[in-house]
Amino acid sequence: MENATHNTSYDVTIGATDTQLVVIKTCTVTIAILGTFGNTIMISAILYGKLYKFSIYVKILNLLVCNLIHCAIFLPLIAIQAFTGRLITENIVCSLISYGLFCNLGTELFGYVCISFNRYACIINQKLYNKLYGSPYLLIIEWIISWSIYPVILAFPLFGIFSHYEYAPMKLVCHPFLGVDCTGYCLFVFLFAILTTVPVIGFCYLQIILVYVKLQRKIASSRDNSKNSTGSGSQTSIERKSGHGSKYMTHRKKAEIKMAFIILAIILFFGMCRLPFITLYIYDPSMVKVDPLIHTLVIYIGSNLNWINPIIYALTNTQIRHSLQSMVIAWKRKIFPPKF
C-alpha cells in the first residue's frame, strides 16, 4: 500500500553495486566542491556589487542559493552515506533529509519559471514589469511563494497524508515516488512540475526570441537605409538622425545577442542536465526497468548544473563579471597591501 508506514532501518549497501558507489562517491565529492566554491563566489560578487537592488539579480541570487544548498549540504550528506553507510539509520532521518533535498530541487525548478517571467515582462511588457517588480513587497511575496510551493506539496508524504518516504538503496536517499510505475503521488508531483514549468518557460522565451528576430530585421532595414542615403551623396537632418539611430540599434544588437546567448545557454544546460533526470524518474521511479547505473549517471549529470550555472553567469553577465573583478581586486589589496 502506498500510504503504509515503515520504521525499518536499512542497509546502505543493499542493491547498490560497486560501480554505482564509485560513481556516487566521485560525483558527490567533485560536484560538492566545485558547486560550493562557484556558487559562494557568485553570491559574494552579487552582494559585493549590491546587484540585489535589481529584480533580475534577485532571481539569479535565488537560483545560486538553491545550487549552494544542494552542493554544501545535500551532496555531502549523500557522500557520507556512500562512504560510511552510517548516516541514514532511522527512517525519520532519511525522510527529513530527502524532504529537504526534493524541496530544494523543486524550488530551483520554480526559480527558472520566475526568472523566465521576469525577462518576459522586462522585454515584452515594461508596464507589467514596473508594476510587479517595482515594489519590494511584491518581490518578498513572490520569494515566499516560490520557497513555499514544493515544501507544502512534499509535506504530504512526510506526514503520511499522500504516499510516504521510503529508502531506495540504489539511490542512497529516501523518496516518495513509490511503485514500479509513476502513478498516484508520483504522477501528481511530476505533472505539477511539468505543467507549471515547461509551458511558462516555453512561452516566455518564444516571445523573447520573436522580439529578437524583429529587432534583427529593424537593424538590417536601418543599415540598408543608411547605405542608400550615403550613396546618394546628400543627407537631410532626418537621415542624419537615422544614422545615429542605426548606431544605437547596432549597440542594441550586441546587447540582444548577449541576451540570446544567456537564454540559449540556460535552455541547453537545463535541458541537458535536468530533463533526462525527470524523464527517467517518471518512467522508472524504482529503478527496475532501466539499469540502475544509468539512473545514477543521469542523476549526477543533472547535478552538474549546480556548478555550471555560476560559470554561465560569470562568463555572460557583464555586471556580475565587473563586480567579481572588483571584489577580487579588493581581496588582493587586503591580503597583499601595496608597499610604499
Q: What are the distances in angstroms from CA 269 to CA 74, 180, 260, 276, 307?
A: 21, 29, 14, 11, 11
Q: What are phi and psi for residue 245, nearest 5 degrees?
A: -65, -35
Concatenating the DSSP letter of every residue in 162-218 gives SS--EEETTTTEEES--SSS--THHHHHHHHHHHTTHHHHHHHHHHHHHHHHHHHHH
Is there a contact between 6 and 34 (Cβ–Cβ < 8 Å)?
no
Q: Which pLDDT score, from 0 to 100, does residue 130 have?
A: 87
Return d(Cα 17, Cα 110) in angstroms, integer.
Answer: 34
H or E element in which residue 175 lies: strand 173-175
Return d(Cα 246, Cα 239) in angstroms, integer.
Answer: 10
Return d(Cα 67, Cα 63) in angstroms, integer.
Answer: 6
Q: Which pLDDT score, from 0 to 100, does residue 261 have?
A: 66
Q: Which pLDDT score, from 0 to 100, does residue 34 have?
A: 96
pLDDT tens per residue, range 83-116:
887 766 567 888 999 999 999 999 998 998 888 8
Distance of CA 248 to the CA centre of its chain: 33
Name the stretches of the chain with pLDDT < 50.
1-14, 238-242, 244-246, 249, 253
Task: Give the residues across from 175 on adjacent strands.
Answer: 166
Is there a contact between 168 and 159 (Cβ–Cβ < 8 Å)?
no
Q: What are phi and psi for residue 166, nearest 5 degrees?
A: -135, 140
- pTM equals 0.83
Q: Which triple of cell numbers denotes residue 64?
A: 545560486
What sign for the dihedral angle of Cα 141, 144, 146, 150? negative
Helix, strand and coil content of the chain, in percent to the nearest 5, comes to: 75, 0, 20
Task: Give the residues across from 168 on adjacent strands.
Answer: 173
Q: What are the distances in angstroms from CA 182 to CA 2, 95, 164, 189?
A: 12, 19, 14, 10
Of residues 175, 17, 9, 164, the one with CA closest to residue 82: 17
Q: Which triple of cell numbers denotes residue 148?
A: 513555499
H or E element in which residue 173 lies: strand 173-175
Q: Which triple of cell numbers denotes residue 230?
A: 550615403
Return d(Cα 31, Cα 26) in angstroms, integer.
Answer: 8
Return d(Cα 38, Cα 44) in angstroms, integer.
Answer: 10
Q: Which pLDDT score, from 0 to 100, does residue 90 have?
A: 62
Return d(Cα 146, Cα 103) in angstroms, integer.
Answer: 11
Percentage of residues in the chain having pLDDT higher than 90: 33
H or E element in which residue 297 lies: helix 292-303
